Structure 1
Amino acid sequence: MTVLKIAAVLFVILTLILSIIITKVFRLNKFGFNFADLAFPLFAFEFYFISDKFFFHNWLPLLGVALSILSMWIVIYFLRKKRSFYYPKFFKFFWRAGFILTFFLYLALVISIFL
C-alpha cells in the first residue's frame, strides 16, 4: 500500500511533466493543443486506477457526475452570456475546464488516501 501511495503522488507530477514534454517535442502548440489536452485523459485514467486500488468502490461515478454538472454549467453560461452555442468552442472550453476539475478531484483523492 505504501508503494501505491507514493505512486499516487508521483502520478500528479509525472503526468504534468510528461504532457508538457510531449507537447513541446511534437510541437502540438501549432495545432492548438495544450498540455492540459493531453493530461486530462491521463488524470481520468489515474483517478480510476488509484480509486479502484484504495477504496471498496472506485470514484469514477463521482468524476462522471462532476463532469456532467460542469458541462451543463458551461452550456448555460454560453446560452446566457454569449447568446449562442458553438459546439467546437464548447468542446474546447469543456476539455480545458474538465482538466482543471479532474486535477483537483485527483488531488482530493490523493489527500483522502493519506487521511
Structure 2
Amino acid sequence: MTFLKFAAILFIILNLTISIILVKLFRLQKKGWNFADIAFPLFAIEFYLITDKAYYHSLLPHLFLALSILAIFIASIFLWKRKDFTYARFFKLFWRAGFLVTFLIYLAMTISLFLIKK
C-alpha cells in the first residue's frame, strides 16, 4: 500500500512534467495543443492502474460517468445558450474540461489512498 501511495504522488508530478516537456520539445503550441491535451489520457490510464490495485474493483466507471455528465453539460450549454454546435469546438472544450475533471478525481483518489487504514 505504501508503494501505491508513492506511485500516485509520483504519477502526478511525472505526468505534468512529461506533458509540459513534450509540448515544448515538439512545439505543439503552434498546433493549438497544451499540456492538458497530453496529460488527460495519461491521468485516466494512471487512475485505472492505481484504483485497480488499491480497491476491490476499479473506479474507472465512476470516471466515465463524470466525463459523460460533463459531455452532456457542455452539449447543453452549446445548444441552449449559444444555439450553435460544432464538433470541433465541443471536442476541444470537452478535452480541456475533461482534463480538469480527471485531474480532480485523480487528486481525490490520491487523498483517499492516504486515508485508508491498512
Q: Using the alignment, how far apart are the partners of 2:64 and 2:73 within structure 1?
A: 14
Shift of residue 4, structure 1, vs aligned partner = 1.7
Match for residue 89 of structure 1? 89
Match for residue 61 of structure 1? 61
Match for residue 100 of structure 1? 100
Residue 90 of structure 1 aligns with an amino acid whose one-letter code is F
Aligned length: 115
RMSD: 0.5
Q: Using the alignment, how far apart are the partners of 1:64 and 1:54 within structure 2?
A: 19
- TM-score, structure 1 normalization: 0.98
Residue 59 of structure 1 aligns with an amino acid whose one-letter code is L
- TM-score, structure 2 normalization: 0.96
Percent of aligned pairs sharing the same letter: 60
- Ranges in structure 2 where 5+ consecutive residues have no aligned partner: none
Segments ≥4 residues shifted beyond 6 Å:
none
Q: Using the alignment, how far apart are the partners of 1:114 and 1:3 within structure 2?
A: 11
- Ranges in structure 1 where 5+ consecutive residues have no aligned partner: none
Q: Using the alignment, how far apart are the partners of 1:76 and 1:30 within structure 2?
A: 30
Matches within 5 A, 1:1-115: 1-115=1-115
Residue 2 of structure 1 aligns with an amino acid whose one-letter code is T
